[in-house]
Amino acid sequence: MTLQRIELAQFRSWPRLDLDLDARPLAIFGPNGSGKTNILEAASMLAPGRGFRAAPAPEQARKGVEAGWRIRAGLQDHLIETQAAPAQSRVVVIDDKSVPQTALARLLRVIWLVPAMDRLWTEAPEGRRRYLDRVTLSLMPDHADLALTYEKAMRERNRLLRDQVSDPGWYRALEARMAEAGAALTRNRLTALERIDAAQEGGRDFPAARLTLLPGEGHADDTDPASIADRMAAMRARDMAAGRSLTGPHRADLGAHWGPEDMPAALSSTGEQKALLLSLILANARALSDQPVLLLLDEVAAHLDADRRAALYDRIAAMPAQSLLTGTGPELFEAFGTRARALSVTRDGSRSQAAWTD
Ligand SMILES: Nc1ncnc2c1ncn2[C@@H]1O[C@H](COP(=O)(O)OP(=O)(O)O)[C@@H](O)[C@H]1O
Ligand SMILES: [Mg+2]
């Protein structure tokens, strides 16, 4: 199943863009600010959520035009449309039927690697947790509902904590709900890590990462509901002082080590960290090979030497997933040869425009 066409209207710097695609990777090149990342961001709106910039819908509408934005995509015999009217949130229409955003995930899995993820291993755990949950969701669609159930119960527990409620009766049912959903969440995360582990190819250019799920608190067993519930009960006084829940699967972290020295990712060079992430992204796409996958790789060539770049393109070309890549110049994509198509992007005043170069 391939994405044959993608059309943008009034999306960020693009008044219009109509792209006919085929199964080959698409290399988008152009100077800074020409609108390359905007195309990838639009493609990321073919997944549920707010896209990889996590921007509110009104911000994505082209400045100075009071029309809102629209994205259309042809995926085999399906027509996907998503748009946001001025000052409105976005809506999704598939084959002329209004559907919830989550319906998008049944047609296409979108996986991205963007420069903001360069610091994933060195920054706070939140980013890694969000990444882990995105990977888990791509492999196990029930993950979103579990996360919602957990968060809803946690919000109610946090309200009790802030209101200084000390009666255990009020907490027990909420903590039991958090414990059930939290244990299932943790099992999903562990299964996802196993599947990513199994799908990593390894090798010199993109070494396999050894991934671990780190519980937020001590050596807790977050796959066991009773263990989560007991810990929450024991933590009530401390949580009340903090005004929020300080223990549980919402505090978990993702660890990554690699190589013969089992080097932590955070201590590796920028290029090595990028290579590790690429190994994971490619493994994620491979683990989903029975489904349509769209890979968005923004500025991936930036930290890679020429050999690694060529190795990356070999792997991308060998995968059933469709990919969109960006870079500042065509020379970055030379190693693709005729295996990829190339689109040149320029900026004329406030408008981006595109031209095929093959
Ligand atoms: N809502 C918007 N309306 C019009 N232009 C926008 C909007 N949001 C961002 N831009 C413009 O898009 C440009 C950035 O495009 P981007 O795709 O990130 O560039 P690059 O080619 O470097 O990846 C910036 O010049 C910015 O001014
Ligand atoms: Mg960019």
Task: Tell me which residue has tokens 């710097």.
Answer: 13
Contact between residue 105 and residue 293 where contact means Cβ atoms under 8 Å apart = no
* Residue 209 in tokens: 């990462």
* Residue 172 in tokens: 């027990």
pTM for the full model?
Answer: 0.94
Cα separation, 21 vs 2, in Å, equals 8
Measured in Å, residue 99 CA sits from the centre of ligand 1 at 29
What is the strand order of the sheet 253-258 is part of? 209-214, 253-258, 263-264
DSSP labels, 223-266: T-HHHHHHHHHHHHHHHHHHTS--SSGGG-EEEEEETTTTEEGG
Ligand nearest to the CA of 58: 1
pLDDT (tens place) for every residue of the chain, 358 residues total: 799 999 999 999 999 999 999 999 999 999 999 999 999 999 999 999 999 999 999 999 999 998 999 999 999 999 999 999 999 999 999 999 999 998 998 899 999 999 999 999 999 999 999 999 999 999 998 898 899 999 999 999 999 999 999 999 999 999 999 999 999 999 999 999 999 999 999 999 999 999 999 987 656 789 999 999 999 999 999 999 999 999 999 999 999 999 999 999 999 999 899 999 999 999 999 999 889 999 999 999 888 999 999 999 999 999 999 999 999 999 999 999 999 999 999 999 999 999 999 7
Contact between residue 188 and residue 140 where contact means Cβ atoms under 8 Å apart = yes
Measured in Å, residue 231 CA sits from the centre of ligand 1 at 47
Q: Which residue puts its alpha carbon closest to atom 16 of ligand 1? A: 35
Cα separation, 45 vs 41, in Å, equals 7
Measured in Å, residue 298 CA sits from the centre of ligand 2 at 7
CA angle 335, 337, 341 (to 5 degrees): 110
Name the residue of 38, 60, 298, 332 to mutate for ligand 1: max ligand atoms within 8 A of Cβ.
38
Measured in Å, residue 204 CA sits from the centre of ligand 1 at 36
Q: What residues flank ion ligand 2 with Cβ within 5 A?
A: 37
Taking CA atoms, 120 is separated from 49, 114, 180, 273, 308, in Å, by: 20, 11, 29, 9, 20
Sequence-distant (≥ 6) Cβ neighbours of residue 226 within 8 angstroms: 179
- What's the pLDDT tens digit per position in 44-58? 999 999 999 999 999
* Residue 161 in tokens: 């904590």
Q: Which residue puts its alpha carbon closest to atom 12 of ligand 1? A: 13
Q: Is the CB of 164 under 6 A from ligand 1?
A: no
Q: Which domains does the chain have, with CATH numbers?
A: 119-291 (1.20.1050.90)
Measured in Å, residue 304 CA sits from the centre of ligand 2 at 16
Describe the crossing of helices 270-287 and 125-139 by its angle, rounded to 10 degrees.
20
Ligand nearest to the CA of 53: 1
Atom of ligand 1 nearest to the CA of 40: 17
